[in-house]
Amino acid sequence: MTTANIPLQLTRKDFVSNQTVRWCPGCGDYSILAQIQKTLPDIGYAKEDIVFISGIGCSSRFPYYMDTYGIHSIHGRAPTLASGLAITNPNLSVWVVTGDGDGLSIGGNHFIHVMRRNVDLNVILFNNRIYGLTKGQYSPTSRTGRKTKSSPMGSIEQPINPISLALSSGATFVSRSLDAHTKHLGKTLAQAAAHKGTSFIEVYQNCVIFNPQEWGPLEDRRERDDHIIYLEHGKPLIFGKNRDKGIRLDGFKPEVVQLGDEYTEADLIIHDETSKQLAYTLSSIEYPDFPAFLGVLYQEEKPTYTDGLFAQIQTAQATKGMGDLNALYRSADLWTVEEQEVVASDVKGTVALGMDDAYMDDLDKPEAVTTAVQDQLTQDTLASLTPRVPIEVDASTSLVKAIRQLNAHNIGCLLVTDKNDILQGIFTERDVLMRVAGLVDDLAAAKVGDYMTADPITVSADLPIAQALHLMSIHGFRHLPLVDEDNRPEGVVSFRDVVHHLTESLA
Amino acid sequence: MSLKEELQAERVSHLDLSNYCQLPSSTLVRDVLATMRQKGSIVCLVIDNGRLAGIFTERDVLQKVVASSEALEQPVAAVMTANPVTVSPDQPAINALQSMDTHHFRNLPVVDKDGRISGTMTHHAIIEFLATRYPTEVLNRPPRPAQFPSKAEGG
Ligand code: SF4
């Protein structure tokens, strides 16, 4: 039975599982996870019709963290399981999560074939140009000359270009995005989901532990626009923070030019996402030799594998009738496998302990230079914001009264507490717009308890400011209740307080 | 570099200003609310003859609309804040922030000298700036602080 046409009102929260996320703090995987959880509510599928399938690697832990169906499968083989599933049940939204190791080393062959078949599924390849899970060896996308644990004198191999490979294998949707570019990533994921057929998204992902320098200025919001070309169908390839640079063709060779006297917009390549020839040409340019292009490079409508297969099944059944699986099984020689004697193993010993730590210490990581802002974010606690004393009401307070309180104190939120002062919910000006204004007729009869957000996410005074910012950026919260260990409110942290603190204290 | 200096170097136009909707001044408040809800906007920029005529914010909803059933059927022009203070997109971000603070504004429409509207400046724009400027510290934190692993695990 399909549930796809039941109207859905899912939110990001519906896709967050209760599993402990085990990536290294700072890993780009976190932002990709958050964006996927944010995008899925809007792709038009019921939660139970969405499946994430992964192989092996850091990125492949993904299915645990999604509150959807998921398979953490065999190394490099996620595309095969995904293809089988998507063909058998075309009503599902199937996502493969893989990395440059899983998808292009051991899974290289499967990658090619999933790209060419055009089964309706989505492949997200987290590219950090290193092996993360096995601790820092070079991967198939590591640059030539790159020194890693397994290439101490520099890699002598030519890297794979995942976008070129996907294109030449016949993918019908080829795109790229960047982990920390939340808006762009969300948009690209939504476009991939909407495409019928195999969608490929390469996501440049920052492995902060083993390859933190790889994406350089791309990971710096202030500079990234000087290094990113945003592809838009029908638009010239202009880039730069001041939009003063572009890409033109010199013969067959893409070339970066400065716009001005010598070159104008008219000299630049116009992006055409339906042109495979252009896609091939553009796919050849890669960061850092060129600015990185982000967006949809190529897309094409083509019958899917499933369409073709089902058409053949129908024809076969029309001419030969329904098949009989049982008869097919029994049509060849049959034999019985006898039980075998158990052979005792003589392998003994314990796993060496402490090896990991020695290995980690041994890594020559670039020395981290932090800015004053970074130090503040991670070292100043929320207590240092001197959070405002919250205004508290109980759940039976009428909306009239609650709104009067918000207006009288000129504040954006009220905390709702029970008679023991335990936090029950939060009621904000956002809730007034979203759930009350023009929707509730009798404000005197309505109780705030029915319109608040119950059991809100809270913070405690000893957490770093970065934690509050994280919650605010991911969830869009403007206020966070600060509570003690018994969940009694101690204050409210607003994003205004945070911005103030960061801009004032260093004045 | 301090955040102040960073926001001095960053222009308003380079922030995320997209959290708004834009409607003509004759639109009924009821319909404005519906659009704001549907688009998740925190502010509606009210337009007259292609120019910014006023703004209508969540605060206005709270103060002027929610308790009055008549307000819903009026054009938004009746309840908006007319001729709002604006900021130009080529200003340093810090100027916009300071202007918001001085006036106790939660948002500031961004309009260039020819009257072209490019969005609305909010505190959220600064949060988004910080999150993507410092993804390692902010964006890519483990969601639950209690689960912060004590060492890098490599997966
Ligand atoms: S090893 Fe790298 S890719 Fe793996 S979780 Fe850690 S930071 Fe992320």
Q: Does A463 touch chain B (CB under 8 A)?
A: yes
Tell me the β-bridge partners of B123.
none
CA distance A38 to A474: 9
Whether the CB-CB separation of A388 and A378 falls below 8 Å is answered with no
pLDDT in tens, A217-260: 998 888 899 999 999 999 999 999 989 999 999 998 999 999 99
% of chain A surpassing 70 pLDDT: 93
In this prediction, residues B110-121 reach a mean pLDDT of: 93
Residue with tokens 């308790």: B67
Parallel, antiparallel or unpaired: strands A392-393 and A253-258: unpaired
CA distance A114 to A122: 10
pLDDT in tens, A170-192: 999 999 999 999 999 999 999 99
By CB atoms closer than 10 A (0-12, 13-18, 19+), residue A266 is exposed
Parallel, antiparallel or unpaired: strands A392-393 and A292-299: unpaired
List of chain A residues whose C-beta atoms are within 8 Å of the C-beta of residue B154: 24, 58, 132-136, 209-210
What confidence score (pLDDT) does residue A506 get?
41
CA distance A329 to A323: 12
By CB atoms closer than 10 A (0-12, 13-18, 19+), residue A208 is buried
CATH number of B3-136: 3.10.580.10
The answer to whether B67 contacts A403, with C-beta atoms less than 8 Å apart, is yes
In chain A, the domains with their CATH numbers are 12-235+271-305 (3.40.50.970), 372-505 (3.10.580.10)
Q: Does A409 touch chain B (CB under 8 A)?
A: no
pTM surpassing 0.80? yes
CA distance A181 to A201: 14
CA distance A475 to A87: 35
What confidence score (pLDDT) does residue B155 get?
41
Q: Compute how many other C-beta atoms are within 10 angstroms of the C-beta atom of residue A488.
A: 14
Residues 4-33 of B with CB under 8 A from A: 4, 6-7, 9-10, 14, 16, 29-30, 33
ipTM reported for the complex, 2 dp: 0.91
What confidence score (pLDDT) does residue B148 get?
61
Residue A3 predicted with pLDDT over 60: no
Instruction: Report phi then psi at A489, rounded to 5.
Output: -65, 135
Could you give the angle at the alpha carbon of A180 between the alpha carbons of A170 and A178, nearest 5°?
Answer: 15
* Cα(B48) to centroid(ligand 1), Å: 52
Residue type, B40: G
CA distance B3 to A498: 12
Tell me the β-bridge partners of B81.
B55
pLDDT in tens, B3-28: 888 899 999 999 999 989 999 999 99
Q: Taking all residues of chain A, what is their mean pLDDT, rounded to a whole number?
A: 90
Could you give the angle at the alpha carbon of A158 between the alpha carbons of A154 and A160, nearest 5°?
Answer: 125
pLDDT in tens, A141-161: 999 999 999 999 999 999 999
Residues 96-135 of B with CB under 8 A from A: 97, 101, 106, 123-124, 126-135
